[in-house]
Amino acid sequence: MMFKLAALLTRPATKYVFILLALLFPLFAANEYQVYVMSLAFVWAIAVYGLNIITGYCGQLNLAHGGFFAIGAYTLGLLTSDYGWSFWPAFVAALLMTAVLGFITGVISLRLKEHYFAIFTLCVGFIIYMLLDKWEELTHGAIGVRDIAAPYGFGVVDFTDSVPFYYLVLAFLIFSIWFISRLSKSLLGRTFIAIRNGDELAQSLGINLMRNKVLAFVLSTTYAGLAGALYAGMVRFIGPEDANILHTFNLITYLLVGGIGTLFGPLVGTLSIVWLTQSLQFLETYKMILFGPLLVLLVIFFPNGLVGSLLLWMRRKAESMGVAKAPKASRVETSNSATGKEAENNA
Amino acid sequence: MNLFFQQIINGMTLGSIYGLVALGLTLVYGILHIPNFAHGALYMVGAFMTYFLMVDIGAHYWVAMAGSAIIVAIVAVLSERLVFHPLRNSPPIHDKIAAIGILLFLEALVQMIWGADFRRISSPYTGILNFDGLIIPEQRLLIIVGAFVLVAALQLFLRKTMTGATIIAMAQNRDGAFLVGIDANRVAMMTFAISGILAAFAATLYAPINLVYPAMGHVVIMKAFVIIILGGMGSIPGAIVGGMIIGFAEAFGGFYISTSYKDIIAFGLLVVILSIRPQGLFTKGAH
Amino acid sequence: MLKVENLTKMFGGLAAVNDVSVHFEANKINAIIGPNGAGKSTFFNLIAGMHKPTSGRIILDGEDITPLRCDYIAQRGIGRTFQTTNLFETATVLDNLIVGHRLRTQSGLWDVLINSKRLQAEEKECRVKAREALDFVGLSHVENRLIADITQEERKRVAFALALATQPKLLLLDEPAAGVNPEETVGLADLMHKMVANGLTVCLIEHKMDMIMGMADKIMVLDHGEKIAEGTPQEIRENPVVIEAYLGSDEDAAA
Amino acid sequence: MKTLRKLGSAIAVATVSMGMTAGALAEEVNIGFTGPLSGGAALYGENVLSGIKMAAEEVNAAGGIDIDGTNYTVNLIALDDGYSPAQAATNAKRLKKESGVSAVFVPHSGGIFALQDFNEKDDFLIMAYTSVPSVTQKGNELTLRIPPTFDGYVTAFTDYAMKHDGKKLGMGGATHEYAKIWAGMMKKQWTAEGGEVVADNPMDYNKSADFYTGVSRIISEAPDVMFVGGASEPTGLVVQQARQLGFQGSFIVMDQAKLDEVAEVAGGLEMMEGAIGVVPLSVYETKPAQDFIKRYKAKYSKMPGSEAAYNYLAMHALIEAMDKQNTTEAKALRAGVPEALKSMDDSKNPYEVKEVDAGGGFITETTLAVVEDGKIVQKPIE
Amino acid sequence: MLQLKNVDVCYGSFKALNEISMTVNSGELVVLLGANGAGKSSLFNTLSGLNKPTAGDIEFEGKRLNGLRPSAIVDAGIVQCAEGRKLFPQMSVQQNLMLGAYVHRRDKQGNRRRYKEILEMFPILEEKAEQPAGSLSGGQQQMVAIGRAMMSRPRLLMLDEPSLGLAPLIVRQMFQTIQQINSLGTTVLLAEQNAFAALKIASRAYVMENGRLVMEGDREAMLGNEKVREAYIGA
């Protein structure tokens, strides 16, 4: 029964059902607040998809991701509020800015490996945060950026309303997922995965490591920038705290809970955690007392994330039921075994 | 000129604290390959335990410090047993996320018990030494001396005792350690306990000239990570030297360049150094 | 086809490979043997460009490839396998192989975005090459199985296929038969013969002597980073220097 | 025990509020709060919340309020936003849409700005606890600013310090948003009155591990007066370290810090000799203030800060307005609060705020206190 | 003393050890011959508890060893001096040796006595006692490795290719030492590629090929056997 349900979930046609559900969501949402939270969750999900490119597919744990999100948000915010740009040109500029800065950071940082890369990017993230906080002439420092333009709908729709904005974010989200699904199946995506499987192996296959890693990095920061720009257009007030390193940790948590390196993991992870924290709000200060251990348990007992574990369970089940062919969906899914630490001897 | 020496004292104070925190972090990394993001929370718990023992129980400063060290050591060992041990075969990213879970939990727990208020610990050493205009509050001197004593004690423990030697052995050659019959679990617990004790000592030494509050570990832990990368992950002297470099960079950078940007100095330094030497300052060969 | 001239690699003060010169002929199976720590893997890494030699030259079909980065060397036609190959466990065998032909394709990000004709053609081509390679190593029947579900020996063959998909002229195999049961070793040896029959040059490191002696056209023996012998299996088997390196001399035992 | 009780009440509030959405308890009126209850600013959020909570409980203990003949009890729903504007906006949406609140208390300007984006459209009143003047200068019609803006203090403090202490000012304030705006005005005023700013070295009061470097940098320029101030406790550390490093001059203390609390950390009032700041609640000798302090101490067993007191009186005024206007409609409440401030019992109004300006700011008499001979003394504004 | 019955070890689908049955009697010096990759190290690591057998029984002095942790096996009296020595390179020679006595750490006096005995066996190490083990020459390092293993007072000492990478003269000394250790009462199981030298001091030998034991016999029988040669250099 469970298996049939799960099999149904992984069928290609199911995605159209989900798109339909997402389209109809504002109709059966209890109120605008739920639409608002859903939009915010979608924005985060886009950022998580970016993280999935560099960390999930390419195997490099980037801890500056939240910083690039903030750069996207700030670029849009500052251009519209201080320099009088209108939303869409500033939006494009935000994408370009994160791509360019991502390129520079990538070229320097991707020479490092494993923990060194992670901690290096952690520092980059912190520097971004500090610069946003301290470089007052440019960023207004702690005061933050106000009066950010909302996206305009060319006279057709008003994106300052929650529901139209929801559809705008949904459109970007669907585009993001579509692009990643195409990417992950393409030669380029396979190249990234080959790098994750091992630098040496990838090189022996004639893959230019640096070029591909930098490309994956730039793609991921651009996704972060896209999410950040949407975020700025949605909340319309941003401050240096938006670059806080905790946001990066949140993004990683979403990714891990959903299933790292899977196509739908980022979405599932983001939605479940966002709604979980919203429902734990009643605990006020104490919500982390529950959330912290929950996170630990998830990591220990669902190391492949929700989506990853489901797919694995499906495969095992399929085998035990004598279904020779593994479910087709798993073709584009990845496990994280390759990013695993060197087989450690633990007596 | 005095202001210059003043910054030296200040750099040493900061460097001592950073070094102690980084030392625990680097031990855990060097031996167990866990980048323990929850280490800052251990530091924070250490400060609160001292506060609890001094204010609520009425213990003397030194007694409270010892008590705090024991409690934090237990917390650290528990986190190893309950969280990191089950995750020992998982990809490294899982360790990091689990550590963040521990961090969130400990912070919320402390806040639930003591609230978010800024708290103060008063040490018995409130005097100020004045050497011809060079001002050294006793507590700062205590920090510097205390850090020196702790590092020396740790070195003695690691070099001169069998238990200490097993820890170093595990770091230098895991298989070799197994072959002589060293128990991996024991070493793992011991390492976590030591890292907890060092964090508690650092927190208790530093708290009297600072404030105690649930979020106090954030900045310290970030810098500790910078330090262990600078000094080479797993290197004990690297942690001390790295701590001093960051302490001095902050003291002098903050004084002669800009206080606002002094926190960037540490991180900027790391970015520059790693850009030139990807393997850190004190490690030989690439990682 | 591959000429190695006075190749030396120092690590610290130690010569891992010391002044080795050798010539591997095309369409032959060349083997490198030697005791543990003799510098065999380092030698491979030098040829593949993973390490840069301290001195000496490597010439492939008349071109000096010594200064090239390893991905360019792969493009020049040197493919290799590793002792252990990290593959994408939860993807199918075929999916793992498609990337093998990546180095002969051009499409980039823009092609992905617009799903260009070139990308489609190249993906098709990669798929064809992957299938060909899979067919060559005799694994067509496991095309759709997940890597996690195939045997150790099949993994070895997949690793071969991956290297073959790069369309190499020279294939470096690092202990291809390690971790493979004796019965299966024979199959792998056959496969190598088949490679040579199809115009490839094979160069392998191997410890399984019966396998080497039975199949190699030429053997080079390394000991302490130096070439101590070179020749046909028969010559090697009777070479006293080799015997001493392997069995120890009677003189040693006399004590 | 205290904490268990806190957790218990949190869960109780939660269950009640969830019940509320189900419509089970129709005789409650909901009022919202979004502020930092976790993270670095959690203490501040808790303090603000404590005043609001106290007012709500007092009203309920006295039998609630009547709106259109029906008796209601007040239900406070508090959500954590961790100081994040985005989360504040999410919370406000939730409070409005799920619990139908007509007013939301927000104690940080980032959150206030984020909410002002949609509060008129969504029809709820922002009870803004911030001294940033611009929140009531942008024409938002559903915003009430609870504390006084600080421009009055800036002038008064500058006047006093110039006259008594000297012309050279060293700036050593905090770096958070509020402190930045304060410092900006302070600098402007000081130079406008002919003074000289010899050092400008703001420090991160909430995160910094050490102020020694920053303070010594200011002192090296030998100022007569030092501008300090963020949260009270770190301010105390800054003062202490300045004295340890030999600073002899006086301090101008930003209004976020309370002289009495600062002194506790700095090592006694004698460390603060000459410091100029707002009159701390503890020094108010009026009966409403003293009574409030007594009640607050009985309830929370600590000294209330001004954020508790201001929010306490604002909550009372809001509830009073509901009672008087017989409605929970936001516009009516915005109009009704000024009336309520005038008419409500003085015991609910520790600061005796009586008026609201056109933009929606509570008008409070600017006060000034100075530490003289180890005592906090209130001084008339010159 | 040591008995293996049908021991299998699998890595995934690969059988590294296949039905190994062997016996080592008290006081013997048994040599294990075989080419690289034949499974000698796998066997040793299984005996040391670093690998878990997938089938079969390992018994030592009547005690079942299957599934015991490495530390428990050292405690039981089996120690391995592994290929590549596995020293603690930055620790001094003395520390390396003393760590060998880890399982007897409470018996400080006994350890000191043992330490003296080891230094008598390897006088050169006394001079080098304070030097980091990593700075020693290969032969000296091998002495430290053997000394470290002997510090745990084993009844069965397993040596995995002790002559690897050593100069011939040193190798000769090494075998003398091994013989000496054996004659003083420690049972020795020796894996060697230096077949002639090893057989000279052995009482018995096993030949391994592809994870199986293919031959067994005493010294004389083995020395002249063509099969031994084949096992190394191939048919």
Cβ atoms of E138 and E169 within 8 Å: the answer is no
8 Å CB contact of D110 and A239: yes
Burial (CB count <10 Å: 0-12, 13-18, 19+), residue A24: exposed
Which residues of chain A are within 8 Å of residue E49 when distances are taken between CB atoms?
347
Q: What is the DSSP pairing of strand E204-209 with strand E29-33?
A: parallel
Strands, DSSP E only, in B122-199?
Answer: 128-131, 134-137
Q: Tokens at residue B224, please? A: 């500790």
The DSSP secondary-structure symbol of A30 reads: S
- Structure confidence at residue A232 (pLDDT): 93
Which of the pair, D233 or A50, is modelled with greater confidence? A50
Distances (CA, A) of D347 to C94, C250, D65, D294: 80, 108, 17, 11
Task: Give CA–CA dist D139/B203, Å, rounded.
Answer: 48
Which whole number is the average pLDDT over E36-56? 87
Domain count, chain D: 2
Residues D167 and D315 in one domain: no
* Cα separation, E27 vs E185, whole angstroms: 6
Q: Which residue, E148, E161, E154, E21, is CA-closest to E77?
A: E154
pLDDT at D358 over 80: yes
Which among E71, E148, E152 has CB closest to B183?
E71
Question: Which residue in D45, D213, D233 is closest to B10 by CB distance?
Answer: D213
pLDDT at A326 over 50: no
In a 10 Å sphere around its CB, with 0-12 CB exposed, 13-18 middle and 19+ buried, how is residue A341 labelled?
middle
* Tens of pLDDT, residues B9-28: 889 999 999 999 999 999 99
- Averages of pLDDT over runs of 10 residues in chain C (255 residues) are 90 84 90 82 90 91 90 91 80 86 86 87 91 90 82 86 91 84 83 90 85 87 87 86 71 43
Q: For residue D37, give the chain A residue with the closest CA.
A: A285
Domain that includes residue D225, residue range: 151-282+367-379
Residue B65 forms part of a structural domain: yes
Taking CB atoms and an 8 Å cut-off, how many pairs form between chains B and E? 74
Chains with 3 or more CB pairs under 8 A to chain D: A, B
Position of tokens 């605990």? Answer: A283
**Residue A54: per-residue pLDDT:** 94
Tell me what the pLDDT averaged over chain A comes to.
84
Quick: pLDDT tens for A135-180.
Answer: 888 888 877 888 888 888 777 777 878 888 999 999 999 999 999 9
Highest mean predicted confidence (pLDDT) among B11-25, D274-288, E75-89: B11-25
CA distance B248 to B15: 7
Total domains in chain B come to 1
Which residue in the set E69, E89, E151 is minimally distant from B172, CB to CB? E89
| CA dihedral sign of residues D26, D28, D34, D37 | negative
State the nearest Cα–Cα gap between B47 and chain E, in angstroms.
Answer: 35
Cβ pair B222:A245 closer than 8 A: yes
Please give the Cα distance from E75 to E46 (Å, whole number). Answer: 16
Q: Where residue D317 sits, what CATH number does that domain have?
A: 3.40.50.2300
Q: Do D291 and D143 share a structural domain?
A: yes
Tell me the per-residue pLDDT of E149-179, one tens digit each, with 9 for 90 and over. 999 999 999 999 888 777 777 888 888 889 9
The residue of D175, D187, D200, D207 whose CB has the most chain A CBs within 10 angstroms, and thus the best one to mutate to test that interface, is D175
What distance in Å separates the CA atoms of residue D2 and residue C26, rounded to the nearest whole number?
Answer: 84
Residue B283 has a pLDDT of: 59
Is B262 a member of any domain? Answer: no
A130 Cβ under 8 Å from any chain D Cβ: no
Q: In sequence order, what are the residues at sequence separation of 6 or more whose Cβ sits closer than 8 angstroms to the Cβ of residue E147?
A: E96, E97, E100, E118, E121, E122, E125
Find the helix or strand (DSSP H, E) in which D131 lies: none
| Angle value at C-alpha A13, between A8 and A14, nearest 5 degrees | 50
Nearest-CA neighbor of E31 among E212, E197, E231? E197
CA distance E222 to chain A (A): 37
In this prediction the pTM is 0.85
Cα(D299)–Cα(D291) distance, rounded to whole angstroms?
12
C180: closest chain E residue by CA: E14
Q: Which of B129, E34, A135, D295 is nearest to C246 (CA)?
A: E34
Are A212 and B56 a contacting pair, CB within 8 Å?
Answer: no
Around A177, how many Cα atoms within 13 Å sit in the side-chain half-sphere?
20
Rounded to whole angstroms, the Cα distance separating D96 from D86 reads: 15
Contacts of residue C121, defined as CB under 8 A and 6 or more positions apart, other chains included, come to: none
Nearest chain C Cα distance for residue A108, angstroms? 19
Residue A267 lies in a domain: yes
Same domain, D140 and D169: no
Render the burial of B240-267: b for 16+ CB within 10 Å, e for the rest.
Answer: bbbbbbbbbbbbbbbbeeebbebbbbbb
Is the same domain home to D134 and D184?
no
A114 Cβ contact partners less than 8 Å away, ≥ 6 residues apart:
B92, B287
Q: Look up residue E51 and give its DSSP letter.
A: S
CA distance E218 to chain A (A): 36
pLDDT confidence of residue A330: 37
Does the pLDDT value for residue D344 go beyond 80? yes
Asked if residue D328 has pLDDT above 90, the reply is no
Check CB contact under 8 Å for C99 and A338: no
Interface-testing mutation among C68, C72, C78, C86, with chain A (most A C-beta atoms within 10 A): C86
Residues in chain E within 8 Å Cβ distance of A345: 50
Residues 163-182 on A with a CB inside 8 Å of C are 179, 182
Report if residue A338 sits inside a domain.
no
Report, as an integer, the average pLDDT of D314-329: 90
Q: Which of D15, D98, D110 lies at the smallest CB-CB distance from A237? A: D110
Residue percentage of chain E with pLDDT more than 70: 97
Rounded CA-CA distance D35/A169 in Å is 27
Q: Which of C144, C145, C108, C99 is nearest to C126 (CA)?
A: C99
pLDDT at A220 over 90: yes
Q: Is there a single domain that holds both residue D53 and residue D106? A: yes
Enclosing domain of residue A316:
2-333
Binned average pLDDT, 10 residues per bin, chain B of 287 residues? 80 93 92 89 96 92 95 96 89 84 91 83 84 83 94 90 88 87 90 95 91 86 87 85 91 81 80 77 49
**Domain containing B153: what range?**
17-216
Q: Which residues of A touch C109 (CB under 8 A)?
A: 188, 215, 219
Most B CBs within 10 A among D83, D212, D221, D240, hence the mutation to make, goes to D212
Q: What does the pLDDT average to over D219-238?
A: 90
CB-nearest to E102 from B162, B168, B172 is B162
Domains of chain E: 1-77+156-161+187-235 (3.40.50.300)
The ipTM (two decimal places) reads 0.83
Confidence band, pLDDT 50/70/90 cuts, at residue A268:
very high
Q: What's residue C255's pLDDT?
A: 39
pLDDT of residue C253: 42
**Which are the contacts of D248, defined by CB distance < 8 A and separation ≥ 6?**
none
Alpha-carbon distance values, C17 to B207, B257, B259, C44 (Å): 57, 51, 54, 10
D265 in the same domain as D207? yes
Chain A residues closer than 8 Å to B108 by CB: 285-289, 291-292
The mean per-residue pLDDT over the stretch A86-112 comes to 94
Q: D50-103: per-residue pLDDT in tens?
A: 999 999 999 999 888 888 888 889 999 999 888 888 889 889 988 998 888 999
CA-atom Rg of chain D in angstroms:
21
For residue B123, give how far its alpha carbon lies from the nearest alpha carbon of chain A (Å): 30
Give the closest of D207, D245, D267 to B219, CB-based.
Answer: D207
Using an 8 Å CB-CB cutoff, list chain B residues near A260.
93
Residue D310 reports pLDDT greater than 80: yes
| pLDDT tens digits, one per residue of D131-147 | 888 888 888 889 999 98
Instruction: Tell me, yes or no, whether A345 lies in a domain.
Output: no
Task: Determine contact: C252 vs chain E, CB below 8 A.
Answer: yes
| pLDDT exceeds 60 at position A337 | no
User: In this complex, is the C-beta atom of C103 within 8 Å of any C-beta atom belonging to chain E?
Assistant: no
- Say yes or no to pLDDT of A289 above 90: no
Say if residue D371 is in the same domain as residue D278. Answer: yes
Is residue B281 situated within a structural domain?
no
CA distance A55 to chain E (A): 28
Say which CATH number the domain at A51 has.
1.10.3470
- pLDDT mean over D210-236: 88
CA distance C19 to E71: 44
Domain count along chain A: 1
What is the H or E stretch that residue A84 is in? none
> Are C180 and E14 inside 8 Å of each other by CB?
yes
- Same domain membership, residue D131 and residue D165: no
Q: Which domains are seen in chain C, by residue range?
A: 1-77+168-255 (3.40.50.300), 89-167 (no CATH)
Angle at E201 between CA E198 and CA E206, to 5 degrees: 55
Residue for token digits 């793609």? Answer: A219
